[in-house]
Structure 1
């Protein structure tokens, strides 16, 4: 079995003549936390949406766990264990925190969410839902309506609902965006903890988070791969420094 769990070859996306992702070749090793970074307009979000099948490529191929998934739909790749989160927190605000996780667990039954089933059957998922809430530090919030959660806790809930789908690979889109310093630290610790036994692809602007979490980093600029390596390697790369700031090192940008 290949050491790479997700690979792309010549991945390209054009929008009416504008090339947002240009001939990108990625290789994400199984069991690692891989960062996808770059300045604004680098093509990170487009690339992420291609990998998770919310966009179809203009050309190129995507292979997941040895299987060509280029033409698949998001739900199909999710069933294979490739599961994403979104930059904007996606929870059901009028359900409780526990019910949000339970909805994801209900999906494991197959073709439906079983909303019409007796409450006693749905409650059979509660024990596992509470375990997941414990994993993400939300046990004390189980009966709170999700819409009442602070922003950082909503992101933790979203990670819990992602874990409920039993992902082999998690793709996290800007998991610390808009968070306070305390929330950032909490989510970083959470990602590190839940990554055990999984592969994580992380799109993130906060370079302090990237440096502390990621085993390997791919830097995009203008839709192309600019550099790859560990954080120390890419931070010293003069092309990366120029792409971010022109004069300063990207490490400094993380604190600015």
Structure 2
């Protein structure tokens, strides 16, 4: 069963000048699942997410990925291990085309990023892979369009494509539906489901309809502590979860 767990946090705690934002959180994410981290405003979910991706260093606790203790490692080192946070790259260069954005991202594992001005022949070898990724996220009709001209929802798809270029084993999505129109929400939700077919996804998300539809497991945080965990049908009926959300919305 341990091999079924790809990411595990034990006793995860973060203090800011005496304020405990995350307190003794234990989290286990199953391989090839979609796991959502939710909670009302001030629950500590964003802090927890930043701890898991090491954009924040935990005050105490340990984090293991594929059985390896990654506590204290840099986000870049963790990404090279296959645990990649979408949108951390911010590699959407507005005046490059969609194709060229993905080609730049594809260079990163080769350790020769940002050399697109040096060798057209080298980049041309990445064309097939870039176009495959672009098609996978539904952007094939926009391949030659500058990224700045993409609608907001399509930019989100491009960000996912550049993340997939790193060939992650596990993808962490930070509020992937934030700011999207209804038709874009449906599109990105379908994309997340497709991406998760052969990867693991952990996401922080406010849209409860999306969470209910996509997630295999949901972890609910409140005031920095884990309140409940399980499938949506179970946690949505949990008395403490209902109490935590009453009057607060799903923020």
**Fold match, TM over 0.5?**
yes
Runs of at least 5 residues in structure 1 that lack an aligned partner in the other structure: 248-252
Deviations 1:34-80 (A, max 9, x none): 00000111111111111111110001100000000001000000000
Q: Structure 1 residues 101, 90: closer, same or farther in 2, change over 3 A?
A: closer
**For the Cα contact (< 8 Å) 2:95–2:148, is it kept in 1?**
yes
The residue that corresponds to 1:240 in the other structure is 241
* Residue 115 of structure 1: how far off its partner (Å): 3.8
Alpha-carbon distance in structure 1 between the residues aligned to 2:127 and 2:57: 37
Residue 77 of structure 2 corresponds to residue 76 of structure 1: yes
Query: What pairs up with 1:170-185 in 2 under 5 angstroms?
Result: 170-185=171-186
1:8 aligns with 2:9: yes
Deviation at 1:113, TM superposition (A): 4.0
The answer for the alignment partner of 2:92 in structure 1 is: 91
CA distance 1:20–1:9, change in 2 (3 Å): same
- C-alpha contact (below 8 Å) 2:87/2:160 kept by paired residues: no
Q: CA RMSD in A?
A: 1.8
Within 1, Cα distance between the matches of 2:14 and 2:141? 44
Aligned match of 1:46: 47
What are structure 2's unaligned runs of at least 5 residues? Answer: none
Q: Give distance in 2, aligned partners of 1:113 and 1:215.
A: 38
Matched residues in 2 for 1:178 and 1:88: separation? 19
- State the Cα distance separating 1:90 from its structure 2 match: 5.6
Q: In 1, Cα distance between the equivalents of 2:25 and 2:61?
A: 9
Q: 1:111 Cα deviation (Å)?
A: 5.6
Residue pair 1:87, 1:177 contacting (<8 A) in 2 also: no
Specify the alignment match of 2:137 in structure 1: 136
- In the other structure, the counterpart of 1:206 is 207
- Confirm or deny: 8 A CA contact 1:87 1:173 kept in the other structure: no
- 2 CA distance for matches of 1:73 and 1:112? 19
Matches within 5 A, 1:108-187: 108-110=109-111, 112-115=113-116, 117-187=118-188
Per the alignment, residue 197 of structure 2 pairs with 196
Show structure 1 runs of 4+ deviating over 4 A. 87-90
